[in-house]
Chains A and B, each alone.
Chain A
Amino acid sequence: MIKTTQLTKRFGDTLAVDQLNLEVQEGEVFGFLGPNGAGKTTTVRMLTSLIAPTGGSAVVNGYRVGQEDIHIRRTVGILTETPGMYDNLSAEYNLMVYANLYEVSNPAGQVEKYLRMLGLWERRFDEAGTFSKGMKQKLAIARALLHEPRILFLDEPTAALDPEAARLVRDFISELRREGRTIFLCTHNLDEADRLCDRIGVFKTRLLVVDTPDRLRSQLFGRKVVFHLRLADENFAQLVSELPFVRDAQVIDTKLLVTLDDPDTYNPEIVRKLVGAGADIQFVGELRHSLEDVYLRLVRNT
């Protein structure tokens, strides 16, 4: 759905995007993470044909950026960093304007569909300027979806929203994912990226890494399993560390912390070994490093 090859953007002497090579598959939710000023918005603007690359190439939905821009704009949806609604116009009129510009075949029907879906139908005659931030954001999401794009670019969709509004927006993104749309999500909210994204790319002018959140965690920190025991003993740690697939084992209070690469396969064997040695296992869980840990390690190391 999206493929970039050495995609580059310079503003005078400033290099904003450096030789980006990226592939996003159909139906995938791809998280594009990076610090402020990393070039995320510039990348989104290039991929939505709002600005032209200065080097490399990109194909979006089968259309080449810089050559088939109108087709790209027609087939992608974009939620910009700020909602950018016409505050003096009603919610319904705002959407009607865009439905007509996108040449939607049944503008009134589509507008109604998304206003209802996002819980704004009752407020359709109210001016957008009277809406809360969350409602404006929902209205902007509706605007991005009116023409039923298969690819959706969401730039900071939950930024500056209160937790309730942010959750509503996230739930809606999950709904879009279930519909099989491809979503390119720029966000600073790493917890959000962790929950929503199939893969993430960490970006700081150039692409630092691309993978699933779990694999990145595993690569950077390994995977840690916590065995909660009624009585923890150093002997249990010693016993478990002898197993060939275990990288490390240590006792902290009543917990036995085991580091290994593939807990899904080897956890049962560890449990058997511990029970055989007389350990009372209360429960077992995985100690997950947050995506924030992954992100900070990657960004700080550049």
Chain B
Amino acid sequence: MNKIKTIILKEWAEVFKQRMVLFSVIFMPLLFTALPLIMLYATRSTGADGLTSEMPAQFNQICPEGLSGGECFQVFIVGQFLVLFLMLPLMIPVNIAAYSIVGEKTTHSLEPLLATPITTAELLSGKNLAAVIPAVLATWLGFIVYAIGARIMITNPVVFRALLDPMWLLAVIVVGPLMAVLSVNFSIMVSSRANDPRVAEQLSAVVILPVLALFFGQISGLFFINQRLIIVMALILLLIDALMIYLAVRLFQRETILTRWK
């Protein structure tokens, strides 16, 4: 455990000196928290009581009873932006993890590191946690700020419950970390093969695409995120994460990394 802790602290001490990483860990959660709050503020008095008929058909089914059209509109619009809280745990670790292996390669620090009695599992666990922990904490913190802001701005308890229902708590608390693990291991796999941190970062960003699809799918009314979808997502992510961890360890070939990389 000590070695894992050492790697985590070392990674943090190092990567948080990179401006891009710091930017992604601080600015993105700020932005993604501000967006739903701004939408909440902006839709407080839209006078959109008659708008529900223009919403996707699925929305009419899930719009809680007792809400006016304007409140339903508010729940719908803000709900779109809550998907951003699923995007955060994917985006933040990409920046951190992309530097984790390629950064060691470019500074030639990987060889002395691999010469220590650290196992591949310990090394990758350290690098995984170093990227997952800030991503998850930043996401949770952002969501807490959003919840507090929503509580202050929303007077109708039904609207507040609709925006903070257990589905979103499940999404942020369970799916978020699973997404972060997926993102980190994908980045580590890419990072183990790439020679440039920027290339690794760009390639790793591909992992965000499924959540973007989710975002646009919901906005265009193709489907609507509900509790069942979140549970299915969590189960699928669990399986994908297990596969990703297995592949990341398999692809992290000490010898290949040391001898083929120049």
Contacts and interface: CB of A to CB of B under 8 A. Distances in A.
A86 B259 contact: no
Interface in A49-90: 50-52, 70-71, 73-74, 78, 80, 82-89
B108 A89 contact: no
A156 to B, nearest CB: 13
Contacts of B118: 101
B107 A86 contact: yes
Interface residues of A, number: 31
B116 interface: yes
Contacts of A143: 112
Contacts of B258: 45, 50-51
B165 interface: no
Contacts of B109: 84-86
Interface string B1-17: 01100100010011001
Interface in A159-216: none
B114 interface: yes
B14 A88 contact: yes
A62 B73 CA distance: 74
Nearest to B110: A84
Interface stretch (A92-100, A116-124, A238-246, A276-284): A92-100
B152 interface: no
B254 interface: yes
Nearest to B256: A51
B107 A50 contact: no
B111 interface: yes
Contacts of A88: 13-14, 17
B44 to A, nearest CB: 46
A121 to B, nearest CB: 20
B65 interface: no
Contacts of A80: 108, 111-112, 115
Given A100-B2, A103-B2, A73 B116 contact: yes
20 contacts: A45-B259, A50-B254, A52-B255, A73-B115, A74-B117, A78-B112, A80-B112, A80-B115, A84-B109, A84-B112, A88-B13, A93-B13, A98-B112, A100-B2, A101-B3, A101-B6, A101-B118, A103-B2, A103-B3, A103-B117
Interface of A: 11, 42, 45, 48, 50-52, 70-71, 73-74, 78, 80, 82-89, 93, 97-98, 100-103, 140, 143-144
Given A78-B115, A82-B108, A143-B112, 18 more contacts: A45-B258, A48-B115, A50-B111, A50-B254, A50-B255, A50-B258, A51-B258, A74-B117, A78-B112, A84-B111, A86-B10, A86-B109, A88-B13, A88-B17, A89-B14, A97-B10, A101-B113, A103-B117
